Amino acid sequence: MNQDSVVYLNGVFQPLSDAKISVLDRGFIFGDGVYEVVPVYHRQPFRMAQHLKRLENSLAAIRIPNPKSTAEWEALFLEMIRQAPYEQQVVYLQITRGVAPRDHGFPQGATPTVFMMVNPLTLPTPEQVEHGVACVSAEDFRWHCCDIKSTSLLGNVLLRQTAVEAGAMETVLFRDGFLTEASASNVLAVKDGVILAPPQDHLILPGISCDAVLEFAPMIGVSVDRRPVSRAEVLAADELWLTSSGKEVLAITTLDGKPVGDGKPGRVFKKMWAYYQTQKP
Ligand SMILES: Cc1ncc(COP(=O)(O)O)c(C=O)c1O
């Protein structure tokens, strides 16, 4: 990221190189914060309302009072988008509990730290869309509050590194024999033309792109079965997909070195990918 890029920190738009926070910020000391990542196409945010709702839920879950109203967040996002030099962007927002002497309990009267930056949006390459990507699998050893979009991401970081070291795109996670999600994506399976989606509970993040895909399913004539999905069902699936703001929807064509279905992006994936493209701003 260019050091001159404009970032937002606690009310001030400033060059990245000038943006400084205290080493006592609880985001640094404890990972005590939440974040959002909003994709922006042609300077238009995708599903802003849903991202702001998820932000509100994450803040409420960790009991940080929301420092801004929805209208104020919207205005701030639009200003960040306006100032950034890219047409396709990804806006990152992080809110921490603020700066305080190190003590696990919540500090009295700390002001939340609010940080935003914009990076260029890097979508999957045409080759990845056409051929799909390789993934590995691992046991999901994260905490039980994965529905909170928390900056405490050590579990996700370690699990992603498993994929990196295997030359794979993502690590697909199973908890007690059931599919949860991946290190930074949701995972959907397709069997006999039906999308199988793990339940939206505290074991997975409510992904905005996953919700979009599930909402688009009837539009492409596909039904959704939202229920626990076993490892055996994942291994026998016709198709597996990743969804995330940066990946949109992407086919997994090998899992742990074995082909998914016939080893090529499936028929339902192709329809969904094409439909998704029509729904972007
Ligand atoms: C753990 C996890 N699950 C799912 C997702 C996908 O969420 P979204 O579609 O809102 O990007 C992400 C996004 O980074 C994530 O980190």
pLDDT digits (tens, 9 = 90+) for 121-164: 999 999 999 999 999 999 999 999 999 999 999 999 999 999 99
Residue 248 pLDDT exceeds 80: yes
Atom of ligand 1 nearest to the CA of 181: 3
Q: State pLDDT tens for residues 160-182.
A: 999 999 999 999 999 999 999 99
Q: What is the mean pLDDT of the chain?
A: 98
pLDDT band at 3; cut points 50, 70, 90:
confident
For ligand 1, atom 14, the nearest C-alpha belongs to 184
User: Could you give the residue ranges of the DSSP H alpha helices within the chain?
Assistant: 26-30, 48-61, 70-83, 126-131, 154-165, 208-216, 231-235, 267-279
What is the set of active-site residues? 149
CA 91 to centroid of ligand 1, rounded, Å:
14
Structural domain boundaries in the chain: 6-120, 126-279
CA 197 to centroid of ligand 1, rounded, Å:
14
Residue 1 pLDDT exceeds 80: no
Q: Are 142 and 27 in contact (CB under 8 A)?
A: no
Span 178-197, mean pLDDT?
Answer: 99
Q: What are phi and psi of 143, to 5 degrees?
A: -70, 180
Mutate to test the pocket of ligand 1, among 51, 205, 249 (most ligand atoms within 8 A of CB): 205
Whether the CB of 207 sits within 6 Å of ligand 1: yes
Whether the CB of 151 sits within 6 Å of ligand 1: no
Prediction pTM value:
0.97
For ligand 1, atom 13, the nearest C-alpha belongs to 184
| pLDDT for residue 18 | 97
Whether the CB of 209 sits within 6 Å of ligand 1: yes
Could you tell me which CATH class the domain 6-120 is placed in? alpha beta
In angstroms, what is the C-alpha Rg of the chain?
A: 19
Whether the CB of 94 sits within 6 Å of ligand 1: no
Q: State the Cα–Cα distance between residues 70 and 3, nearest whole angstrom.
A: 29
| pLDDT for residue 53 | 98
Residue 103 pLDDT exceeds 80: yes
Whether the CB of 243 sits within 6 Å of ligand 1: yes
Could you tell me which CATH class the domain 126-279 is placed in? alpha beta
Q: State the Cα–Cα distance between residues 75 and 40, nearest whole angstrom.
A: 14
Whether the CB of 5 sits within 6 Å of ligand 1: no
- Which has the closest alpha carbon to 77: 24, 37, 122? 37
pLDDT band at 223; cut points 50, 70, 90:
very high
Helix axes 267-279, 208-216, angle to 10 degrees: 110
